[in-house]
A = this chain, B = another copy of it.
Amino acid sequence: MAPYKEVRAEILSIGDEILYGQIVDTNSHWISQELDKIGVRVVRRSTIGDNRESILEAFGNAEKRADIILMTGGLGPTNDDLTKPLLAEYFNCEIALVPEALEAVRNFFEKRGRELTPLNRLQAHLPTKCTYIPNELGTAPGMWFHEKGKIWMSMPGVPHEMKKLMSDHVIPKIKEVFPLPHIYHKVIKTVGIGESWLSELIKDWENKLPNHIKLAYLPSLGQVKLRLTGFGDDMNSLEDEVEKEIQKVKPLIDKYIYGYNKETLEEAVGRLLKLNKKKVAFAESCTGGYISHLITTIPGSSDYFQGGLIPYHNVFKNRLLEVDDKILKEKGAVSEETVVLMAENVRKMFDADFGLASSGIAGPGGGWAEKPVGTVWIACAQKGKTFTKKLQLTQDRLLNIQLTGVAVLNMLRQSIEGKTE
């Protein structure tokens, strides 16, 4: 389809602290995603220690494999940090003061009321063959080399500094240098259905997808993302084509779709509550505050989140949410009857339109034959009607909490949309 030569990239992360497991390298994964979005193929990722021979060897091998070499780390002002002198050595050039870079470092410190040390001043000395790329969020500048048709870019290892350099400078410059295919991504976010069932529902559509539109299944914790990627020459027609495919697949799985692209389930639920001017409250037993936490991570959630109660023992389910002692004794705390009362009464307690409740055996202890670990009841109460659902989850406590959270938010979504099963 595309008349483009494949553009290949290699990502190098530099630092003993990564190899020894002292810090997690989250940069490489993020860079992979950003390059994938613009149609650059990552062919290798390597982590190298703070060691001259290793770094030079990695430079040499990367140059053989890739058109673009992006590296992070090894840029601090101390002696351990070798990236800058080794880039100068590799490209056979001097290191010299760049007045613009010195100005930037000086400003950086001035703004923070700190003095420029001689060590900091060294950060403005750069290999003469590089283009200086300003780092607005830190003191180690980016360095861009365009040598023998290949691009080399060195960035600091601090994630937010690297991300800003990538987004503001590196991605736009890569697009200038290399003819890349137009790529259009769209992600369909689904919840409440497993990957294999989902693929069964959409297999006929999937088999008929044109060659230049690819589908990927990305499952995670109770959810599956469907990522459609179109490649082509004309961005407008490409976007049209992908959107048309989405309109075709949508009716097949409509009740599982909660959003698109980056929207999370808690954001989608918040959007729906806001749109419908509805308010929500939670009574959480086995989830212990997790669902309220998810909801309140979203800015502006006070518009629709009224509050929550965590009655972790029967006495509080009874005293604060009026669950009859008789029910607690005869049916148990993990029962349909209990979650119905919890949901209905937390709704009233917090003047909400929707009241949701969870009660279950998160584990690892507390299970028995009739109600093994992983047994969870959830409920969603509105004025005049209440839905319930029994879940049979896993042996893992944290996973049970998280999967219950997803199920409760999905139940709320379905109730707001009037699409309860």
Inter-chain CA distance A82–B23, complex, in Å, is: 30
Q: Is the CB of B310 within 8 A of A289?
A: yes
Inter-chain CA distance A398–B160, complex, in Å, is: 15
The chain B residue sitting closest to A37, CB to CB, is B21
- Residue A387, interface by CB 8 Å: no
Given contacts A44-B48, A297-B401, A397-B299, contact A25 B36 (CB under 8 A): no
Q: Is the CB of A32 within 8 A of B45?
A: no
Binds B, one of A107-115, A249-257, A312-320: A312-320
Please indicate the chain B residues that have their CB under 8 angstroms from the CB of A24 in the complex: 29
Inter-chain CA distance A20–B397, complex, in Å, is: 32
- Residue A290, interface by CB 8 Å: yes
Q: How many copies of the polypeptide does the oligomer hold?
A: 2
- Determine how close the nearest CB of chain B comes to the CB of A35; give it in whole angstroms: 8
Query: Which of B35, B300, B316, B349 is A306 in contact with, Cβ under 8 Å?
Result: B316
- Determine how close the nearest CB of chain B comes to the CB of A176; give it in whole angstroms: 22
Q: Is the CB of B310 within 8 A of A307?
A: yes
- Residue A350, interface by CB 8 Å: yes
- Determine how close the nearest CB of chain B comes to the CB of A17; give it in whole angstroms: 8
Q: In this complex, which of A24, A31, A46, A307 has the most chain B Cβ atoms within 10 angstroms of its Cβ?
A: A307
The chain B residue sitting closest to A300, CB to CB, is B365
The chain B residue sitting closest to A229, CB to CB, is B20
Please indicate the chain B residues that have their CB under 8 angstroms from the CB of A292 in the complex: 288-289, 310
- Convert A388-421 into 0s and 1s, putting 1 for each residue whose CB lies closer than 8 angstroms to a CB of B: 0000000001100100000000000000000000
Q: Is the CB of A43 within 8 A of B54?
A: yes
The chain B residue sitting closest to A48, CB to CB, is B44
Q: Is the CB of B21 within 8 A of A36?
A: yes
- Convert A81-121 into 0s and 1s, putting 1 for each residue whose CB lies closer than 8 angstroms to a CB of B: 00000000000000000000000000000000000000000
The chain B residue sitting closest to A297, CB to CB, is B398
Q: Is the CB of A308 within 8 A of B310?
A: yes
Please indicate the chain B residues that have their CB under 8 angstroms from the CB of A316 in the complex: 306-307, 350
- Residue A284, interface by CB 8 Å: yes
- Residue A218, interface by CB 8 Å: yes
- Determine how close the nearest CB of chain B comes to the CB of A119; give it in whole angstroms: 15
Please indicate the chain B residues that have their CB under 8 angstroms from the CB of A351 in the complex: 315
- Residue A207, interface by CB 8 Å: no
Inter-chain CA distance A293–B54, complex, in Å, is: 44
- Residue A309, interface by CB 8 Å: yes
Query: Which of B48, B216, B363 is A299 in contact with, Cβ under 8 Å?
Result: B363
Inter-chain CA distance A299–B349, complex, in Å, is: 29
- Determine how close the nearest CB of chain B comes to the CB of A160; give it in whole angstroms: 10
- Residue A339, interface by CB 8 Å: no
Query: Which of B218, B290, B315 is A293 in contact with, Cβ under 8 Å?
Result: B290
Please indicate the chain B residues that have their CB under 8 angstroms from the CB of A264 in the complex: none
The chain B residue sitting closest to A320, CB to CB, is B349
- Residue A210, interface by CB 8 Å: no
Q: Is the CB of A218 within 8 A of B22?
A: yes
Inter-chain CA distance A288–B266, complex, in Å, is: 14
Given contacts A289-B310, A300-B365, contact A45 B22 (CB under 8 A): no
Please indicate the chain B residues that have their CB under 8 angstroms from the CB of A386 in the complex: none
Inter-chain CA distance A140–B266, complex, in Å, is: 36
- Residue A296, interface by CB 8 Å: yes
The chain B residue sitting closest to A308, CB to CB, is B310
Q: Is the CB of A309 within 8 A of B306?
A: no
- Residue A328, interface by CB 8 Å: no
- Convert A33-47 into 0s and 1s, putting 1 for each residue whose CB lies closer than 8 angstroms to a CB of B: 111100000111111
Q: In this complex, which of A310, A349, A362 has the most chain B Cβ atoms within 10 angstroms of its Cβ?
A: A310
A-B contacts, 14 of them at CB < 8 A, read A19-B43, A21-B30, A21-B32, A21-B34, A22-B216, A44-B48, A288-B295, A289-B310, A293-B401, A296-B310, A299-B363, A307-B312, A308-B308, A308-B309
Interchain residue pairs A-B with the least CB separation, the first 3: A288-B296, A289-B292, A289-B289
